[in-house]
Structure 1
């Protein structure tokens, strides 16, 4: 199966606004979870189509239950399995959304740092990935440090 073409440059203003909305919300929720809990599990943000003229589209937070290893209840949570489950969930419900963003906590091996990774896509064919490195809080100040996010073209998964 071939990968669909990323048409990010061809998206109209409304579609760009929906992508920006899920991206901004996703980064904000991940940052909030890090600051409050110190960690977060993979999740998704989706924007539903507006239901009334001039109505603001609804945002939804979607998550899946981590798979438990019954043989080893202390085993680490498999974030890749959770992300695959989120992709499947959103593929199954893609007609209900205009844009989605998948969010995960990743390690950037080249930089030896952690980062928030957001992959957002729009039903009209555009996709973008954002990576925002972060540093855990200084024990004295308790302040998390978030670097400037960087963007690149993303892979289309939901509307493939």
Structure 2
């Protein structure tokens, strides 16, 4: 079976690998503190620097889908100045009966992956139990071909 790594440059591999930890780490911090989080992105710019990006839609409790749509639109406009993007969302994994941190990773070279970290809030909100990371191919939105 051919892996995405077999077709990606070393820089693309490093960029995507470098996005996963901060993307999941911030989500875990938010879950520990608030038991939820709004979608956000972590990007690698053309110079190799990382930064976090949030979307504003103008309401106190915006729908996650609206934030993701706004993030995709904003990042698509900036894509010529970006090398890689991770869009992070709090999702319901109905087939597993739990929630998950979904990180959709994209690279300018055309690689698109989805990584999901299942989680469950412990009884009475006393911490979070995490499952195993699950990875699969994804549809590209920022660098859609």
Q: TM-score, normalised by structure 1?
A: 0.81
Equivalent residue, structure 2, for 1:116? 101
Q: Greater strand percent: which structure?
A: 2
CA displacement, residues 110-159 of structure 1 (integer Å, 9 cap, x when unaligned): 1221101110000011011001110113438x221111110000111111
Residues 76-95 of structure 1 correspond to what in structure 2 (within 5 A)?
77-95=62-80
Q: Unaligned regions of 5+ residues in structure 2, if any? A: none
Please state how far the C-alpha of 1:49 moved relative to its aligned partner: 2.6
**Residue 77 of structure 1, CA deviation:** 2.8
Using the TM superposition, give the Cα deviation of residue 66 of structure 1 relative to its aligned residue in structure 2, in angstroms.
3.6
TM-score of the superposition, structure 2-length normalised?
0.89
Whether the 8 Å contact between 2:8 and 2:111 is mirrored in structure 1 is yes
SS, match of residue 80 in structure 2: helix
> Which has the higher relative contact order, 1 or 2, with Cα contacts under 8 A spaced 6 or more apart?
1
Structure with more helix by fraction: 2
Task: Tell which structure's C-alpha radius of gyration is larger.
Answer: 1
Q: Deviations over 1:13-52 (max 9, x none)?
A: 11101011112211111111111222100000001133xx
Partner in structure 2 of residue 42 of structure 1: 39
Query: How many residues are aligned here?
Result: 141
